[in-house]
Amino acid sequence: MTNSPTTKKPRKETSSRDAELTKGRILDAAEDEFAKAGLLGARTEAIAANTKVTKAMIYYYFEDKEKLYQAVLERAFARRVSAIQKLDLAGTPPAQALRLVVESFLDEVSQHPNLSAILFYEAMQNKGRFYKDIAIATLYEPIENIIARGIEVGAFRQVDPRHSAVNIMGACVFYFCARENVKHLWEPGTDLLSPEMVKQHVTEAADFVLAGLRK
C-alpha cells in the first residue's frame, strides 16, 4: 500500500507564518502602549504582557524600543499608501477626489484611533525626528495635488496647496486625538468612536473641507 499524501504545511512555511502573526500582535500591543505615553513613556514590559510574549522575543524581532516604534509608524504609513493606491484620483474631478481621500483617510483613522495620539506624542517628545523618516509625503502630497488641480480647473479658490493640506489633516484627526476632551460636548456616555458618530464626523469633515475650498 502507498501512503496517502500528507496535508501538512512545510515546517519552514508554518514557522514563517507564525512569526508574522507574532510580530503583528506585538505591533498591535505596541501601538496601544505608544498611544498612552509616546516613545519615551512606553514600557516594553507592558507590551510583552499584553502580547503574552517575553521581552526577549520583542527584542529578537525589533532589536529595541526605538526600532519597534519605527515599525509601528511604518506599518501605519504603509496602510495609508495602500489605501491611496486603490483610489482613482487622477481620473476623478477634484472635489470628488478630495472627498474620496478624506473619507478613505478617516475610515482608516477610525479603525486605528491610537495613531493620532502617537503622532501627537511624536511632535511633542521627538520633535518629528522619526516622522520625517517615514515618507510623510504619502499623507500630504495626494491632497496637495488634488488642490492644485482643482485650482487649475477653476473648481477651487486660490490657496496654498501644502498649507491647506496640513489644515485638512488637522480638521480630520483632531476629533480622534482629542476625543477624551471633546466627548463632554455630548451627552454622558456618548461613544465618539461608535459607527454612527464616526460616520457623522466623516461627513461633517468632508463637507467642511470642500466648503472651504470651493469658489
Residue-averaged pLDDT of the chain:
90
Report whether pLDDT(57) > 90. yes
Averaged pLDDT for residues 95-116 = 91
Report whether pLDDT(7) > 60. no
Q: What residue type is assigned to position 48 of the chain?
A: A
Q: Tell me what pLDDT residue 8 has.
A: 54
| Grid coordinates of 25 | 500582535
- How do residues 14-44 score in pLDDT, each as one tens digit? 677 788 899 999 999 999 999 999 999 999 9
- Domains of the chain and CATH, by start: 70-213 (1.10.357.10)
Instruction: Check residue 208 and give left, alpha or beta (phi > 0: left; psi -120 to 50: alpha).
Output: alpha
Is 176 within 8 Å of 116 (Cβ atoms)?
yes
